[in-house]
Structure 1
Amino acid sequence: MTTVDLIWFNAGGGHRAAALALEQAIHDQGLPWRVRKVNLMQVLDPLGYFRRITGMEPEDIYNRRLATGFTLGLAQELKLLQGMIRWTHALMVQRLALHWRTTRPDLVVSLIPNFNRALHDSLALAAPGVPFVTVLTDMADHPPHFWIEPDLAQHLVCGTAYAYAQAMDAGCSPDRVHRSSGMILRPEFYAQAPIARTEERQRVGLDAATPTGLVLFGGTGSRAMKGIAARLPKTPLILMCGRNEALAAELRALPAQAPRVVVGFTTEVARWMRLADFFIGKPGPGSLSEAVHQGLPVIVTRNAWTMPQERWNTEWVREHGLGVVRRSLRSINAAVDDITRNLPEYQARVRRIENRAVFEVPRILAKILEQTRQPARAASRVPVLGLVESSSEHREMAAADRPAISEYPALLRGCPSKAVSKIPKLGRAKRKERNLVAPSIVTKKW
């Protein structure tokens, strides 16, 4: 049976949600695959040293920033993170390569940014011939080295025309860039039973006739929701707090003239969206796509606090006329007035957006697997622009860069030798591969 690994981590909820949705879609389509969800952080730190030292998971730092709404400066922190990833690249490749050798996947699908070079390089070394695919869970790339790595044999699945154009402009091979119609949403956003909307709104305490806003800032909420609720005392609201119980309690305590529903953690986000008329939140690719798919015009902000990888999403909103983009939530009243006065026009434009990505991506992956297995590609099955027989000239070039550990040519360059643990000896079959060189790994500096 074909084994497909979906790579995710917990920085924000979108990567895990995409992995779960893709796993479900693969199952629903009856593909004969064994799907494994692989948490990258658990592979890189299986004994939890980071948590033992700090008392938290690596992703918790980022998630706490989201929960507090203090996202100013994340662009600079991203550069710092990427620098650390480059510095530890060789060690990550070593750890990941050992993981691939043990688990032997047939296809690796990354649903995360920043780590794709390490994932690709380790897979190319440990499992030549296994294709590597990156499915963007953002609407746009934030180059360099965020989602797109144009010098690698990385298949890309892009959910917007803009991301597709970014990949092509970066020089990616056209046969490795694939287009889907949007972000991956959970299948339950498509298989929805009819509801008596008026009766259901009345049942939960909302007014059936007054336009109602749904406020959502990811799976942990945000303190920005308090400011929104305080500024909109006369607007019916559904306030989605996720796992942030403290925020939910504070919102319930706020005075309001209009009916409100404060919702904690729930698996029924799609249902709550169907009870609303418009969306208020940050321009995250997941919640934004979910709202539009459910027919909700959106109110979002773009300013210095907006995460760099999400800023283009506001251009998408403007380009398609899907809602209102403001610089600050201080003008939320004017934005709500705009949406409610022109609600039918906004709703009509929102309905024109069709997103079937969760059904398209499994077919794209199946096609990549089929092409990889074709006999005509047997000579170039390694996702590093193909393995080539090493000429004496090329072997000399490789040897100049190769450190003492021959199993990892050039990837360990720049890494202190004491920091690299001894790698298990190769078996006879692996030793035969030493006459093959992956040139894009050996010679490329980044």
Structure 2
Amino acid sequence: MPRRHYPLIDMIYFDAGGGHRASATALQAVAEQQRRPWQIRLINLRDVLEPADFIRHLTGVRSEDVYNAMLKFDLTAGVGPMLPLMRLLIRRTHRQNVMLLARHWMEPRPALVVSLIPHFNRAIFEGLRMADARRDGIATPMVTIMTDLADCPPHFWIEAQEQFLICATAVAARQAMAIGLDSQHVVRTSGMIVRPEFYTHRYISRGDERRRLGLSPGLPTGLVMFGGYGSRRMLTIARSITESRQPIQLIFICGHNQYLRQQLTAMELPFGCHVEGFTQDVPYFMQLADFFIGKPGPGAISEALVSGLPVIVARNTSTMVQERYNAEWIVQNQLGIAIRSFSEIDRAVASMIDKDQSRRFRSHVAMLNNRAVFEIPEILAEIMAMPRACLAQQAVHAIP
């Protein structure tokens, strides 16, 4: 059958942060690997809702550009206070957003709508139902896939509406059922979506590759990474390790932040280090490391854990509200260490390189076996196989 006749799946993302698009493209790649007979259409929600973005019309700046600028300039403490304002703006434009989404879904009709974003799931659902009502009244199924470990209510990820929710933790599942979703519509996976290339182990000599980067082949090695723009906290980490004289070496990934890369290089650090800019090959650097240091972003910590690395993260007032539970989850599951400030990194590293502690962390990391990116296509297939008129009564096989 020509692909144009395959069922159409709309996957919705936006570019506030990089994790939503990355999750959508990861699912698309795995669906293709699994030879799923689907058309997958990736939709940037901002393109659909552009006419309703009065902030953009007034200022020329998209709200997601403001968010990304805050990440770039390390202003994450301001994200929490922004949430009430963001919710107010979304409520103000809700009706127009619903109308725009309904128009979008009139033609072509999707077999399934998958949201990988927060904030807009009520509008997505109502727009989809409006389009259904204008056609034949048969409900098009909707799925929200959470790309955070837990919800940050109200009206963040989970809405009380007749849809499916795919989540990675027991906490998120309980949050969904507490708001009114029944257990048949809440599907828990074995973890977060991680790009499939993190599951491909390269047969390389870690010692030789470390030497090639100017590192010692045998020293404990940490990978320091703070998203696509790095963070000035990487300078704090470098200074603290210098003062503590810990027997370790570090790989710093600075992303697009060339100034940070120059600063780290100019420090002429007395311990072994490699300073990298932006790279698409994070799996390679994780394979060379023994542990991860960074912020508790769900994507980065999940990539580290899939790569077998225990993690060190900070949880404080600068931590974005939607990421604070992640630090608790790490500690509760004995997957690493959460500290209040990266000025305390020396003590955390001392624990991480202690043989008994390291063995304990690694054993718990090895028990995770996160295969979510490979599990979710089958969950979506089961949902699409349900009779449309019976969506409210049917259950999906939940992966334990």
Instruction: Provide TM-score, normalisation by structure 2.
Output: 0.90
Question: How far did residue 252 of structure 1 move?
Answer: 1.6
Q: Does 1:140 align with 2:150?
A: yes
Contact 1:206 1:261 in 2 (8 A): yes
Aligned to 1:258: 271
Question: How far did residue 46 of structure 1 move?
Answer: 6.5
Question: How far did residue 366 of structure 1 move?
Answer: 0.5
Aligned to 2:92: 87
Q: Which one of the candidate residues 96, 100, 103 is aligned to 1:98?
A: 103
| Deviations 1:243-275 (CA, angstroms, capped at 9, x unpaired) | 222222222212201121111221111110110
Q: Does 1:287 align with 2:295?
A: no
Contact 1:3 1:34 in 2 (8 A): yes
- Residue correspondence of structure 1 range 54-203 to structure 2 within 5 A: 54-127=59-132, 128-150=138-160, 152-203=161-212
- Residue correspondence of structure 1 range 262-341 to structure 2 within 5 A: 262-341=275-354
Q: Judging changes above 3 Å, is the alpha-carbon distance between structure 1 residues 104 and 246 closer, same or farther for their aligned structure 2 residues?
A: farther
Question: How far did residue 51 of structure 1 move?
Answer: 5.5
Question: How far did residue 53 of structure 1 move?
Answer: 5.2
Whichever residue aligns with residue 284 of structure 2, its letter is R
C-alpha distance in structure 2 between counterparts of 1:174 and 1:253, whole Å: 55
Question: How far did residue 143 of structure 1 move?
Answer: 1.1
Q: Which one of the candidate residues 350, 358, 377 is aligned to 1:362?
A: 377
- Mark the structure with the bigger radius of gyration: 1
Q: Does 1:228 align with 2:234?
A: no
Question: How far did residue 48 of structure 1 move?
Answer: 8.8
Contact 2:52 2:93 in 1 (8 A): no
Contact 2:199 2:307 in 1 (8 A): no
C-alpha distance in structure 2 between counterparts of 1:223 and 1:333, whole Å: 17
Whichever residue aligns with residue 202 of structure 1, its letter is R
Question: How far did residue 55 of structure 1 move?
Answer: 4.8
C-alpha distance in structure 1 between counterparts of 2:34 and 2:254, whole Å: 33
Contact 1:42 1:48 in 2 (8 A): no
Whichever residue aligns with residue 347 of structure 2, its letter is A
* Paired positions, count: 378
Aligned to 2:37: 32
| Deviations 1:266-306 (CA, angstroms, capped at 9, x unpaired) | 11111101101111111111101111111111111111111
Aligned to 1:442: none
Partner-residue secondary structure (3-state), 2:106: helix
Question: How far did residue 191 of structure 1 move?
Answer: 2.2
Q: Does 1:218 align with 2:221?
A: no
RMSD: 1.9
C-alpha distance in structure 2 between counterparts of 1:159 and 1:53, whole Å: 39
Partner-residue secondary structure (3-state), 2:254: strand
Q: Judging changes above 3 Å, is the alpha-carbon distance between structure 1 residues 91 and 48 closer, same or farther for their aligned structure 2 residues?
A: closer
Aligned to 1:425: none
Contact 1:180 1:361 in 2 (8 A): yes
Q: Which one of the candidate residues 3, 13, 17 is aligned to 2:8?
A: 3
Aligned residues with identical type, % of pairs: 48
Partner-residue secondary structure (3-state), 1:103: coil
Instruction: Provide TM-score, normalisation by structure 1.
Output: 0.81
Q: Does 1:238 align with 2:248?
A: no
Question: How far did residue 68 of structure 1 move?
Answer: 2.0
Structure 1 unaligned regions, length at least 5: 386-446
Q: Judging changes above 3 Å, is the alpha-carbon distance between structure 1 residues 48 and 253 closer, same or farther for their aligned structure 2 residues?
A: farther
Whichever residue aligns with residue 158 of structure 2, its letter is I
Q: Does 1:352 align with 2:388?
A: no
| Deviations 1:167-186 (CA, angstroms, capped at 9, x unpaired) | 12222122111111110001
Question: How far did residue 219 of structure 1 move?
Answer: 1.7
Aligned to 1:20: 25
Question: How far did residue 230 of structure 1 move?
Answer: 2.1
Question: How far did residue 49 of structure 1 move?
Answer: 7.8
Partner-residue secondary structure (3-state), 1:242: coil
Partner-residue secondary structure (3-state), 2:77: coil
| Deviations 1:39-62 (CA, angstroms, capped at 9, x unpaired) | 001111179986675454431211
Structure 2 unaligned regions, length at least 5: 1-5, 133-137, 394-400
Partner-residue secondary structure (3-state), 2:11: strand
Whichever residue aligns with residue 63 of structure 2, its letter is P
